[in-house]
């Protein structure tokens, strides 16, 4: 994953929290970043947690609960769409999008999930 893609993912996820500017985040949590291309659908997929700046309480709040993990989708030539999936699967909540089985297998995630861990 390039630094340009990282910046795009941060911007897409920050836009989910309309009142928290992208500058309030310092990056993506290492060790939790996933990236793939699905040629069958000509779609790029990514998943990551945002790292808030140490001095930003607004960003720290934005990455709690459902915002604690993000899933991203981008059609070839399109812009990234971000989804908050930190609570997907908790209390019967559903994933807001469907990750292709080939991507789930590549990432080592459970089938029918949209984040690492138990199926959602």
- DSSP letter at 23? G
Least Cα distance to 3 among 36, 23, 27, 39 occurs for 27
pTM: 0.88
Q: What is the pLDDT of residues 9-38, one digit of tens each?
A: 999 988 887 778 899 999 998 888 999 999
Q: What is the pLDDT of residues 48-98, one digit of tens each?
A: 988 998 998 888 887 777 668 899 999 988 999 999 887 787 777 888 899
């Amino acid at each position: 994953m390039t630094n340009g893609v990282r910046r795009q993912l941060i911007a897409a996820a920050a836009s989910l929290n309309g009142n928290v500017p992208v500058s309030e985040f310092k990056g993506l949590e290492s060790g939790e970043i996933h990236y793939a291309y699905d040629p069958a659908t000509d779609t790029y997929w990514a998943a990551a947690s945002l790292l808030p700046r140490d001095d930003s309480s607004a960003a720290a709040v934005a990455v709690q609960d459902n915002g604690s993990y993000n899933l991203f989708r981008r059609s070839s030539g399109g812009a990234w769409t971000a989804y908050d999936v930190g609570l997907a699967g908790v209390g019967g909540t559903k994933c807001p999008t469907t990750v292709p089985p080939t991507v789930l297998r590549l990432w080592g995630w459970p089938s029918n999930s949209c984040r690492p861990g138990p199926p959602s």
